[in-house]
Structure 1
Amino acid sequence: MRRFVLRLALLLLTTAVMTTPSYAAKKALANAAEFHESVTDIVVSVHERSGQAITGKVVITQFKPDGDGPFPFVLLNHGRAPNRAEPPRFQLTQQARYFVQRGFAVFVPTRIGYGALGTDPDPENAGACKAKNYASIAQAASDEILAVIAYAARLPYVDAQRLLLVGQSVGGYSTVATVARNPPGLIAAINFAGGSGGDPKTRPGEPCEADKLGQMFATFGRTGKAPMLWLYTENDQHFSPKYGRAWHAAFINAGGKAELKVLPPFGRDGHSLFSAGIDIWQPLVSHFLDEHGFPAQ
């Protein structure tokens, strides 16, 4: 009898543990409620490097402050991880929290070739390391970003004339490419460690064909009009700071407007600053937003 009681108690305890929401699940629910999280998708057509047309869905995670708005809006553009199936949907919740608290409606696109909808086709595949087509990434990713901007601008709680663009890594590169296309309502943009072709395992700090990226940034600078903030770190294992400086010089010498800040080493790889160093970049971003028409709410 005693053995039976012990087994029953163990079974009840196990069941309780299995059915109690995890801390992460509770936190996700709290974020969804606090920042009015919602998810939608839009169909977008882009071209890959071969020129073939691709039609796919861009999944958009949305956050907003309390109230009806209209709110200024920001797009947070993700980078490119080795496993493009993870996460299933980009949320960038902690970064979104900062911008919601600043009074922004936040849109986080999961671009074609990433997440739960599948990694094939992949319009951001620029080819082999010695034969990169960085122009194709810029075109495909910025096409998707422009489509998300158009979607967001139609929402009743969004102020379509007050747009901020933010991106990290390939998302930073894509953000600069989008600035070059001068979307309606764009006020300013922020590039966190923007670039492509980096591999910290096999070529730490040395991206593939960095000169080609310099040429692309010069191309973006010739047409981009919005002021930008560029943030890189001294120990970025994808893009050594010499490249951040060279790409910034190419951009502004061609006519672009960007303030560059190369920050001290952060953790083991400064490339993670956007995701893991929020307390470090917040003051810099807040100052930039204050200067360019986005005062704290």
Structure 2
Amino acid sequence: MSFAEPEEITFPSGNLRLQGFIHRPEGDAPYPAILLNHGSEHPKSGRLIAEPFVSRGYLVFFPHRRGQGRSSDQGAYIMDVIRQEPLSTRSQRFVALQETHQEDVVAALHYLKQHSDVDTRRMAIAGCSFGGIQTVLSAEKDLGLRAAIAFAPAAMSWAKVPELRSRLIQAVRSATVPLLFIQAKNDYDLSPTKAMAQELQKQNKPHKLFIFPEFGKTPAEGHSFCARDAQIWGDAIFAFLESTMP
């Protein structure tokens, strides 16, 4: 299947003017839609991870949060801010920055809702690593979402940032949509997804957890699972989406 080049757009988040990419599927609108959250890296268009969704008929919006990628002129890069914070307050700052970036995600969802090609009754959110954290935080809000897919949320920060652990457990306790957690076995840390899934089980809230076999040889390769092999994770994700967004 051939894929059209994504459309780069500008959207507001408070006083900021952020950039993002719209990937459209074939066929007639309106389309079910996925908002994809990038990690802590400087993202590009998101095409690699967007294509599996586009091939299934989903419109994908890949916004760049403040200080990153095409929005790098809109505020400081989150990792620079964290590294410059004194060790005594770094954990609190880490969580505060996640909340600040959540403002950009909510703004992106508001933009998506207003897009003429989107079926607003069938919207979901997904993300990997830092983007997985943003996905979990979004799942507790009333944003018109039907599902949330978190790849490896907090896999590199869970053990180091107790405040983040508490915040994410709070978020899943308040979850308003079904959550899917997904990771490769050799990712940095499986504890976050297991702990959050366990909390959702206690709360009797709809969720699924998939731990796939090792991907690559290193934790870094395992952590890149979300963007690398949709042939492995695709069936689980699309079955989840079809059950939550029929």
Aligned length, in residue pairs? 237
Q: 2:50 aligned with 1:99, yes or no?
A: no
Is 60-69 or 243-252 further displaced after alignment? 243-252
Q: Quick one: which amino acid aligns to residue 51 of structure 2?
A: R
Higher relative contact order (CA 8 A, sep 6+): 2
Is the aligned partner of 1:271 residue 2:241?
Answer: no
Q: Does the 8 Å contact 1:223/1:256 carry over to 2?
A: no
Instruction: Say whether the 8 Å CA contact 1:221–1:257 is kept in structure 2.
Output: no
For residue 73 of structure 1, give the secondary structure of its aligned residue in structure 2.
Answer: strand
SS of the residue corresponding to residue 224 of structure 2 reads: helix
Residues 60-209 of structure 1 mapped to structure 2, 5 A cutoff: 60-81=20-41, 86-87=42-43, 90-118=44-72, 120-122=75-77, 125-126=81-82, 127=85, 131-133=90-92, 134-184=94-144, 186-195=145-154, 198=157, 207-209=159-161
Change (3 A) 1:95 1:123: closer
Deviation at 1:92, TM superposition (A): 1.9
Q: CA deviation at 1:117?
A: 4.0
Cα 1:114/1:196, change in 2 over 3 Å: farther
Letter of the 2:208 partner, please give it.
Answer: E
Task: Please give the per-residue CA displacement for 1:75-131, whole angstroms capped at 9, x wherever unaligned.
Answer: 1100013xxxx44xx322132111112111110011101114437424574545664
1:1-20 correspondence runs (5 A): none
Shift of 1:56: 2.6
Aligned mates of 2:166, 2:203 — CA distance in 1: 10
Query: Which has the larger Rg?
Result: 1
1:253 deviates by 3.4
Letter in 2 for 1:108: F
Aligned to 1:156, the other structure's residue is in SS state coil
Normalising by structure 2, we get a TM-score of 0.85
Kindly provide the amino acid, as one letter, of the partner of residue 293 in structure 1: M
Question: Of 9, 12, 19, which aligns to 1:59?
Answer: 19
* Equivalent pair of 1:213/1:247 in contact (CA under 8 Å): no
TM-score, normalization by structure 1: 0.72
In the TM superposition, structure 1's runs of 4+ consecutive aligned residues that sit over 6 Å from their partners are: none
RMSD: 2.5
- Residues 183 and 210 of structure 2 are in contact (CA less than 8 Å); yes or no, is this contact kept in structure 1? yes
Kindly indicate whether the alpha-carbon contact (under 8 Å) linking 2:65 and 2:71 is maintained by their aligned counterparts in 1. no
* Structure 1 gaps, min length 5: 1-29, 46-54, 199-205
**Paired AA for residue 163 in structure 1:** M
Q: 1:180 and 1:284, CA in 2 relative to 1: closer, same or farther beyond 3 A?
A: same
> Using the alignment, how far apart are the partners of 1:59 and 1:252 within structure 2?
37
Q: Does 1:43 align with 2:2?
A: no
* C-alpha deviation, 1:40, in angstroms: 0.8
Question: Does the 8 Å contact 2:20/2:70 carry over to 1?
Answer: no
CA 235–286 in structure 1, closer or farther in 2 if over 3 Å, else same: same
> How far apart are 1:183 and its partner, in Å?
0.3
Question: In structure 1, how many angstroms separate the alpha carbons of the residues matched to 2:18 and 2:62?
Answer: 10
Q: 1:132 to 1:167 in 2, by over 3 A?
A: same
Distance 2:169 2:203 in 1: 5
Q: CA deviation at 1:254?
A: 5.1
8 Å Cα contact 1:214/1:247 also seen in 2: no
| Superposed displacement of residue 256, structure 1 | 4.6
Q: Indicate yes or no: 2:241 matched with 1:289.
A: yes
Shift of the alpha carbon at 1:143?
1.3
